[in-house]
Chains A and B, each alone.
Chain A
Amino acid sequence: MKLSDQFEQRFHAMINHYPTKRSVLVPSLLYAQDELGYLTDELIAEMAQRLDLTDLEIRNVISYYSMLTTQPRGKFNVQVCTNIACMLRGGEEILDHCKRKLGIGHKGTTRDGLFSLEEVECIGACSWAPAAQVNYDFHENLTPERMNEVLQDYRRKVHQQENC
């Protein structure tokens, strides 16, 4: 399977960091997922072959980590934290607002494939709650209005790319 040069570079750098090959598995899967959108059967087979593991062993690891997925997701994965610190400052309202605004529920994807929504556990932004992550970007001290702007910014980003 052909993977990007950047992925290969990272993979080959990492593999020398450990006495066992399979240690690179979790960070590599995440890097691959960032590029492919989700962990495809082909990718799983490729990793199994590279690391002398079975497909099943890889799937076993994937199912443990909440960030890893074998299902396609939207281009922007909106992850709203509703854990205690965010809950106290309106995290649930932010989640409900996103549900209404995007017309999807937890782990849903919009029809245009632009956004996915996920209710997530603590993302380490407790002192700046409520917070959400869109892919890897943190958005903190949110209000429903601020959340609208955040979503709008991502929409705009895509339109700009399309017009280029």
Chain B
Amino acid sequence: MADLVSHPDEVKIVSKRFGQGATDIDRYLELDGYKAVQKALGIGPDALINEVKNSGLRGRGGAGFNTGMKWSFVPKQSPRPKYVLCNGDESEPGTCKDRLIFEHDPHSVIEGVVIAGLSVESHVGYIYIRGEYRYLSNIMQKAIKDAYARGFLGKNIFGSGYDFDVYWHGGAGAYEVGEESALMESLEGKRGIPRIRPPFPAVVGLWGGPTIINNAETLASVPHIILGGAEWYASLGPPRNGGTRLFCLSGHVARPGVYELPMGYNLKKMIYEVAGGIADGRRLKAVVPGGASTPCLTAEEVDVPMDFDSLMKAGSMLGSGGVVVLDDSTCMVKFALRTMQFYQHESCGWCIPCREGTDWLKKTLARFHAGEGVKKDIDNIQYLAENMLGRTFCPLGDAAAMPTIAFIKKFRKEFEDHLEGRPCPFEKEGVVKQLPVFA
């Protein structure tokens, strides 16, 4: 349903079956479908893990951890069943890629889940899809049913003697559930409250069993690695950052859309060439490079390769691949406020630094944007945000704090322009919209 875009610089791997009718299992088989699983059945767990490790595939959900490494943490012997859990709770603002994978290529996710299962000798996988994506969960349910009907899932898959079941699971609206431990709580039918780690899910996960949790795009990449080989996949990107990524370009660009580009693709080129530059002849002001929780880059900082390590070096994160582009008509105070409003809404309230921090930051930023900020507030916002970092069970607290600190550090002058009754210079009517100050 969502429109597809295309650009000559794209390297289509995860997206190669988009628009090809691959939701139909016969069509999927024509397009090399289920070959990777059959190959994987003959490889053996250790070799599979090594292949994925060597491919340089890193978690596409945001954290960017080496996928093969993650799989290798699952103990060989376990008294409890082992599980594979596909994270399709895509909710990071700026991110809309898993949606396209589910919509156009659901079987590739199933294949990825089965291969992950083979690598740790698990026999059950779950595909968790956010509640808002009802049409996608219908597509996925049909895909699973079709795969069962062909003997690709269930008992004795492909006549190999190996049993593997895949089930779908649906959420009901919660950003925090995208965090791995909250995701497991949600799948167990509870509130999505994060668990303390260690123990990590690879050791103690779903129902106490060792659990592999990977993002949908990560798992959809796995079959291509098994078929094409680790060396080929690794060679697509810079060292330790293998493969390609679905980058979701949004905001003030002329051609927003989801583009699959090699890891390490230059951000400036991505904005000006792939996405057609800034719309309406305006100028670039800032970029949120990897979803709302990543620290923004200023217009001067965008000449940077888009891979995990380079972005880290640039003081930000590659995150979830959601590239939100802001032009010079954007009020950074308002943008910071809207970002914080989101985290305040989504904080589950379990950890006090996050629950109270996001609330106070929202109130302070709202007051600020309404022109009632005092100079001391600027430092207070930064101080409060810095004191949230690393003090919560799950990274939601960090996700709220990190971008806020960057907004203050990089756009301090704009915050000063809002001080003491001065109207927001960006509001069209020249008057500040009345915002709830102490709602």
Residues in A whose Cβ lies below 8 Å from that of B175:
121-122
User: What separation, in Å, do the CA atoms of A88 and B325 have in the docked complex?
Assistant: 9
Q: Is the CB of B189 within 8 A of A22?
A: yes
Among residues 49 to 108 in chain A, which have CB atoms less than 8 Å away from a CB atom of chain B?
51, 60-61, 64-68, 82-85, 87-89
Q: Is the CB of B96 within 8 A of A65?
A: no
In whole Å, how far is A123's beta carbon from the nearest beta carbon of chain B? Answer: 5
Q: Which residue in B132, B171, B288 is a CB contact (below 8 Å) of A124?
A: B132
A125 within 8 A of B: yes
User: What separation, in Å, do the CA atoms of A19 and B171 have in the docked complex?
Assistant: 18
Q: Is the CB of A128 within 8 A of B3?
A: yes
B256 within 8 A of A: yes
Q: Is the CB of B252 within 8 A of A124?
A: no
Q: Is the CB of A123 within 8 A of B330?
A: no
User: What separation, in Å, do the CA atoms of A32 and B322 have in the docked complex?
Assistant: 33
Count of interface residues, chain A, beta-carbon cutoff 8 Å: 41
In whole Å, how far is A58's beta carbon from the nearest beta carbon of chain B? Answer: 10
User: What separation, in Å, do the CA atoms of A20 and B171 have in the docked complex?
Assistant: 17
B158 within 8 A of A: no
In whole Å, how far is B136's beta carbon from the nearest beta carbon of chain A? Answer: 9
Residues in B whose Cβ lies below 8 Å from that of A21:
189
B149 within 8 A of A: no
Residues in A whose Cβ lies below 8 Å from that of B90:
124
In whole Å, how far is B58's beta carbon from the nearest beta carbon of chain A? Answer: 22
Nearest to B91 among chain A residues (CB) is A122
Residues in B whose Cβ lies below 8 Å from that of A121:
91, 93, 175, 342, 345-346
Q: Is the CB of A84 within 8 A of B173?
A: no
Q: Is the CB of B207 within 8 A of A20?
A: yes
B188 within 8 A of A: yes
A7 within 8 A of B: no
B232 within 8 A of A: no
User: What separation, in Å, do the CA atoms of A30 and B173 have in the docked complex?
Assistant: 10
Q: Is the CB of A65 within 8 A of B190?
A: no
Q: Which residue in A27, A51, A127, A133 is a CB contact (below 8 Å) of B256?
A: A127
Q: Across the A-B interface, how many residue pairs have beta carbons closer than 8 Å?
A: 149
B131 within 8 A of A: yes
Among residues 289 to 311 in chain B, which have CB atoms less than 8 Å away from a CB atom of chain A?
292
Interface window among B104-112, B243-251, B418-426:
B243-251
Nearest to A91 among chain B residues (CB) is B338
Residues in A whose Cβ lies below 8 Å from that of B94:
84-85, 122, 126
Q: Is the CB of A64 within 8 A of B330?
A: no
Q: Which residue in B172, B322, B324 is a CB contact (below 8 Å) of A68?
A: B172
Q: Is the CB of A84 within 8 A of B171?
A: no
Q: Which residue in B189, B326, B330 is a CB contact (below 8 Å) of A20?
A: B189
User: What separation, in Å, do the CA atoms of A82 and B96 have in the docked complex?
Assistant: 15
Q: Which residue in A22, A127, A133, A138 is a CB contact (below 8 Å) of B190?
A: A22
Nearest to A121 among chain B residues (CB) is B342
Residues in B whose Cβ lies below 8 Å from that of A17:
126, 165, 167, 169
Q: Which residue in B81, B133, B169, B338 is a CB contact (below 8 Å) of A84?
A: B338
Nearest to B275 among chain A residues (CB) is A127
Q: Is the CB of A140 within 8 A of B2?
A: yes
User: What separation, in Å, do the CA atoms of A163 and B257 have in the docked complex?
Assistant: 41
Q: Which residue in B126, B173, B192, B257 is a CB contact (below 8 Å) of A67?
A: B173
Pick the 5 closest A-B CB pairs, nearest first: A67-B173, A22-B189, A66-B173, A65-B172, A25-B189
| 4 additional contacts (CB under 8 A) given A26-B170, A83-B342, A122-B94 | A65-B131, A122-B175, A124-B91, A133-B132
**A contact set with B: CB distance below 8 Å:** 17-27, 29-30, 51, 60-61, 64-68, 82-85, 87-89, 121-129, 133, 136, 138, 140
